[in-house]
Amino acid sequence: MGEEDGMRPTLKLGSIAGIPVGVHWSVLVIMLLLGQGLATAVLPAGAPGVSTGAYWTAAAAVTVLFLLSLLAHELSHAVVARHYGVPVKRITLWLLGGVAELEAEPPHARADLLVAIAGPLASLGAAAVFGAAAGGLYLTGLAPLVWVALGWLALVNAVLAVFNLLPGAPLDGGRVLRAALWWWRGDRAFAARAAARTGMVVSALLIAAGTLQIVWAADFGGLWLVLLGWFLLFAGQAEQADARLRGALAGLAVRDAMIPPPVSGYVTQRLTDFADVAAAQRPADAYPVLDPDGRPAGLVTLFAMARVPEARRPEATLRDVRIPLERLAVLSPDTPLDEAARSVVSSRLPALVIDQGILVGLLTTADLNRLIDLSTLRKGRAPS
Ligand SMILES: [Zn+2]
């Protein structure tokens, strides 16, 4: 899989080649299900007549090796990306595989292609290594449990490589398609749109195939395909929205979209006094709060102020209800707007724009949306 934001690892494992690696809690669920399936069904069917303890030991080893092959897949994406100067934020393993989060787009079509293909190539490499080991061991006639386990790892890695090469974004195959179209037509936006569309076709086919499997064959294994199809559909839509956002905000900085801050309060100011000041001004949802020396100290929302019990209101100060600076997005006027948009949208509160310790503006989702709509409208009219 490719880059995706918003999925935070639950457990940090450390870092490999300077890239932080973590696992999401859903991996534990998969490890348990996989280990149980291997120990009680797959391995006993392939290599009968071995002790229960041996099946569970082999299943545990196979599960760990499987996770390591997922990691090798994502690390390959990450290492090639970094080779082309694209910073990698982190790698997270989760329910449906792994994600290498890239902090930028590859600089040219060839880099895009190599970053995308590196993961499936690593999976194919793992399949070849496990397959060769399984084949060699099979020929000696020794340790059937071990060669069945290795054979399963080879098969699963091959399936992973092939599945990821389905030609629709956000799968690796979709990125390969995007890179190829980008190289052919020289237009990255066109290539990304085409790969997104084939991604929707791939998702629809997966959902249809899974549904048929459930309805006609009464095989509930089809549920996996349906889930996977839904996931890809949502991930693809999120990615398209993100691409539109980047396109609309390209070249703009926070100073182009921020609004002048409304009247500020002070941390020591009483709630009731500030309410009078705020009521006399243009109404806002949130107001900045300053330290006595004039430095920004957070935000107060009307919502939070109105929820202070009436009995406590005369005593309460803005310090009691403020959202501290550490919990807010803080931007510089020069921050590129597409980068800023992510932190504003994910925090739901206005971001504070601070220049050399002085509050110079606020940036809200509503202002951003207006700017995006306006920029989209104007791009449609005048070719640039
Ligand atoms: Zn991948």
Nearest CA-CA partner of 334 in 234, 228, 251? 251
Task: Say if CB 359 and CB 296 are below 8 A apart.
Answer: yes
pLDDT at 289: 93
> What pLDDT shows up at residue 9?
64
From 311, 313, 317, select the one nearest 292 (Cα to Cα).
317
Residue 327: other Cβ atoms inside 10 A: 11
The dihedral through the CA atoms of 30, 31, 33, 34 has a sign that is positive
Question: What is the pLDDT at residue 4?
Answer: 41
**Which tokens hold the place of 264?**
């500020």
Position 353 scores a pLDDT of 93
Amino acid of residue 49: G
Given 3, 74, 101, 239, the catalytic residue? 74
Cα(334) to ligand 1 centroid in Å equals 34
Side chain identity at 164, as an amino acid letter?
N
Residue 205 pLDDT: 94
Q: Specify whether the backbone of 18 is left (phi greater than 0), alpha (psi in -120 to 50) or beta.
A: left
CATH fold of 254-381, please? CBS-domain (3.10.580)
CA distances from 151 to 43, 57, 67, 131 (A): 11, 16, 16, 6
pLDDT at 162: 93
User: Is-catalytic flag, 74?
Assistant: yes
> Could you list the mean pLDDT of each consecutive 10-residue stretch along the chain, which spans 384 residues?
51 82 84 90 88 92 92 92 88 76 82 94 96 91 88 94 88 92 88 88 93 89 87 83 75 87 89 85 85 91 88 89 89 86 76 92 85 74 44
Q: How far is the CA of 273 from the centre of ligand 1 (A)?
A: 57
Q: What is the arrangement of strands in the sheet containing 11-16, beginning at the earlier edge strand? A: 11-16, 19-23, 88-94, 97-102
Domain parsing of the chain, residue ranges: 11-249, 254-381
pLDDT of residue 377: 77
Distance 296 CA to ligand 1 centre (A): 43
The Å distance, Cα 165 to ligand 1 centre, comes to 9
Per-residue pLDDT at 95: 63
| 149 phi/psi in degrees, rounded to 5 | -60, -45
For position 118, what pLDDT does the model report?
A: 95
Residue 309 has phi, psi (to 5 degrees) of -55, 145
Indicate the pTM of the whole model.
0.68
Q: What is the pLDDT of residue 348?
A: 75
For residue 120, the CA-to-ligand 1 centroid distance in Å is 6
Which token pair is 119? 């993961």
